[in-house]
Amino acid sequence: MKIKDILEFLDNYGMKYNFVGNINDNIIGFSSLSNYKLGSITWIKKEDGYDSIGRPKDISLAIVQDGINVDFNNIIYTESSKEVFFSIIRHFWGKEKKVGIGKGTIISENVKMSDTVTIGCNCTIVGNISIGENTVIEHNVVIQGKVEIGDNCHIQSGVVIGIDGYGYTQNSESKKKTMIEHFGGVHIGNNVFIGSHTNIARGTIDDTLIDDGVKIAPSTHIGHNNKIGKDAAIICSTLYGSSITGDRSYITSSTIANQITIGEDTVIGMGSVVSKPIESGVIAYGIPAVTKRVNDSDL
């Protein structure tokens, strides 16, 4: 493959870049900067990373963040170096998707899904469930009850969606607890990623809602009645019942108390406990989490 093939791909997808070098040079694969392989394409996000390996001049091609000075010949400069680099390697070297259903998977008769859906081995998908176009469900996933999953979603192994959440009534005299049956479902939009070992509880009456473009990292708990806005990112966190996360917000390794609202474009820093509402457009962290400054990050 020649560099001109990569540039043609970027042009076809409307990605902005500036190329310096020889479009006819060959590229045979990809590699990281710290373990660079001659003839491959790599990615340079920060100049100190390039400095740390001695500023080599024998790099065949690199995607370079705008504003960084490098000492080799073939360079694709862009403001979105991460997006451009991983788009290239996914397009030219990504795994080919295999549509089908794996061994040991149980799917009830009332499940509606596109014939472009991929489902791994030993999954259980039972209930009033719909699954959209080009969605991938990996191995050992449980989806039950009333669940809607949109197009182009990716659900990793070990995820559980649609079980009853944790809620009970308590007798005022005996203090005996009785678990509450849940009647809601789970609605998952398009282009959602759900990492392995994540649990998403169904709503008690209304649905738990996960909007388009949401990305959920492994080992996350989404409690009943949660509402997670478009393009939010939830990383290894616990969101108790009926919390609301605004569009494009970013929550990392934190605990969100029940019935708490987090505004749009807000970052919750690592290890926080959010026990009071957090407004839009800020960075907040701590125990308890408090607003520290305006959000000027690019997460």
The CATH number covering residue 275 comes to 2.160.10.10
Domain C-terminal end among 93, 109, 133: 93
Q: Indicate if 149 and 79 belong to the same structural domain.
A: no
pLDDT in tens, 215-239: 999 999 999 999 999 999 999 999 9
Q: In this predicted structure, what is the pLDDT of residue 184?
A: 97
Could you tell me which residues are beta bridge partners of residue 291?
284
Confidence of residue 252 (pLDDT cuts 50, 70, 90): very high
Q: In this predicted structure, what is the pLDDT of residue 99?
A: 77
Domains contained in the chain, number: 2
Q: Indicate if 155 and 200 belong to the same structural domain.
A: yes
Instruction: Calculate the average pLDDT of the chain.
Output: 96
Q: Indicate if 247 and 263 belong to the same structural domain.
A: yes
Confidence of residue 295 (pLDDT cuts 50, 70, 90): very high
Q: In this predicted structure, what is the pLDDT of residue 95?
A: 79
| Dihedral angle, C-alpha 210, 214, 219, 220, nearest 10 ° | -50
pLDDT in tens, 131-186: 999 999 999 999 999 999 999 999 999 999 999 999 999 999 999 999 999 999 99
Q: Indicate if 255 and 144 belong to the same structural domain.
A: yes
Domain C-terminal end among 93, 111, 135: 93
User: Which residues are known to be catalytic?
Assistant: 224
CA–CA separation, 57 and 289 (whole Å) = 47
CA–CA separation, 219 and 210 (whole Å) = 16
Within a 10 A sphere around the Cβ of 100, how many other Cβ atoms?
A: 11
Burial of 59 (0-12, 13-18, 19+ CB in 10 A): buried
Confidence of residue 98 (pLDDT cuts 50, 70, 90): confident
pLDDT in tens, 8-34: 999 998 999 999 999 999 999 999 999
CA–CA separation, 192 and 210 (whole Å) = 8
Q: Indicate if 164 and 193 belong to the same structural domain.
A: yes
User: What letters, b where the CB count within 10 A reaches 16 and e where it falls short, cover 255-275?
Assistant: bbbeebbbbbbbbbbeebebe
Range of the domain at 199: 100-294
299: in domain = no
